[in-house]
Chain A
């Protein structure tokens, strides 16, 4: 087991957003968490990256190591967990190349960094063409590529993806998902959070359904795709 989340509870200003969420991910898998707006999907990812405080009793381990005891930057630099946050959150004042370089801040394996950079540019050729351009001037699709590329530079073990399809045209969306598949084949485990349930379930191998801060269903994605309840509520009947 790569990542194990047990009894994850998070509150915002006294209002509980997650009521004891449990799930786990094996190495090499693509797992998705689907659910409606406000179900707690992003909060789950944020808890893993320490962007929100968890309540006592929550447990998150990466290969048996207590993730919650590490400072936020070491979740990335030591455990190799990267996070493509909601809304991409690129550094618009830095160039494309600088955004990618910053993601390697804590890495000292300069040969491997060079190789990874090459690979990112091979996957997303547009980024190579625009590497000296400020990230703020990129189009939406290019920004999403850069957000994924940046995550690839910071950690290659587990990638947390928050709504990567947001704001992309169907064509660009399938390009981004194609490259994610490729990244997965190369050994990066993926945890995908999506509102677009159909797409997410087709892309992933296993899925969890989150409703009001609780996991209400989980299993292989084929089963969820055919589940009448899921169909009715999330796949448009």
Chain B
């Protein structure tokens, strides 16, 4: 039982990473009907920006003018990196996708893959091949809950992720920008007739998705501090799977599927050797998709209107 609970905690942590990244795929898909295949690399860029911001903050702290507590450094790192990465996302939309808004979707998909390669190799060119290490901002504290060991970091990761998801949910439900996003998901072509600038909503959606990916990148770095330029590839694909599994365009679905992915992966390793993890985990997911091709909350989008 304690073994199960221990794994449950790990699954929640991994699920948080997947869910945060999957949200970016899902949101962009719902309004523009395209999958941003550079999104995994945005996660990587976010982690690296986090590395830069954290390093700068730690260096500033060591000057001793004002000594900020570790948790505050982390909060600042997350917020500043989310902001900076959102600009990267907007740039990707502006340069990569906006000119292709009316082009065949395959062109946009290929563009996404190329942008991903540019981000990876750009990072390599900029920082070199050696891996970097996110500075330690908070010290690990392990709590023993009747044989289940939980670190403060894991609790923090799960809580921050859930907080971001709830904030996004409220944003989409309650604000006029969120309303515009939902309207675009339903019938893109008539949204300008409401006086809504499509381009701004599209840019904003990329910005939000990228900011969430950056948060995921830093949270990942807190748990596993070693970063490398290709870390976004596998994460990107897995989160993409979560977005499909959740139902294309569904925010709630992306979150749930992200967590489900975390659970399946972790629980497969409880039973099978870890080398077989992805083989079995993604076999299970394929089976789910055979029976639910539109995912958990997806609708058949063929009925969608276009002018």
- Which residues from chain A sit less than 8 Å from chain B, CB to CB? 46, 49-52, 71-77, 82-83, 85, 87, 89, 91-94, 98, 101-107, 150, 154-155
Contact = CB atoms under 8 A, between A and B. Distances in A.
B contact residues, range: 10 to 19
Interface stretch (B54-62, B107-115, B177-185): B177-185
Contacts of A98: 179
Nearest to B199: A71
Nearest to A136: B186
Contact of B187 (A73, A89, A104, A154): A89
Given A98-B179, A102-B179, A49 B193 contact: yes
Closest 4 CB pairs of A and B: A72-B192, A77-B195, A76-B195, A106-B195
Given A105-B176, A105-B196, A94 B190 contact: no
A51 B187 CA distance: 13
Nearest to A89: B190
B138 interface: no
Nearest to A153: B194
Contacts of A49: 192-193
Contacts of A102: 176, 179-180, 183, 194, 196
Interface string B193-231: 111111000000000000000000000000000000000
A105 B193 contact: no
Contact of B196 (A87, A89, A92, A106): A106
9 contacts: A51-B189, A51-B192, A72-B192, A73-B197, A73-B198, A82-B193, A93-B186, A102-B179, A105-B180
Given A51-B307, A89-B305, A73 B182 contact: no
A213 B305 CA distance: 25
Contact of B194 (A46, A52, A150): A150
Contact of B186 (A52, A94, A101): A94
B307 A101 contact: no
B182 A154 contact: no
Contacts of A154: 193-195
B180 A76 contact: no
Contacts of B186: 91-94
Nearest to B192: A72
Contacts of B179: 94, 98, 101-102
Contacts of B190: 85, 89
Contacts of B194: 73, 76, 102-103, 105, 150, 154
Given A89-B190, A102-B176, A105-B176, A94 B182 contact: yes
Nearest to A49: B193
A52 B197 CA distance: 16
Nearest to A51: B307
A77 B307 CA distance: 21
Contacts of A92: 186
B202 to A, nearest CB: 12
B183 to A, nearest CB: 5
B80 to A, nearest CB: 30
A73 B196 contact: yes
A47 to B, nearest CB: 12
A104 B193 CA distance: 11
Contacts of B182: 91, 93-94
A114 B157 CA distance: 43
Contacts of B196: 73, 102, 105-106
Contacts of B305: 87, 89
Contacts of B198: 72-73
Contacts of A87: 305
A91 B179 CA distance: 10
Contacts of A77: 195
A83 B190 CA distance: 9
A123 B306 CA distance: 30
Contact of A91 (B183, B192, B197): B183
Interface string B127-149: 00000000000000000000000
Nearest to A107: B195
A87 B307 CA distance: 11
A46 B180 CA distance: 21
Contact of B193 (A83, A94, A101): A83
B195 A91 contact: no
A12 to B, nearest CB: 11
Contacts of A106: 195-197
Contacts of A155: 195
Interface string B292-307: 0000000000000101
A155 B197 CA distance: 15
Contacts of B180: 102, 105
A10 to B, nearest CB: 13
Contacts of A76: 192-195
Contacts of A93: 182-183, 185-186
Contacts of A46: 307
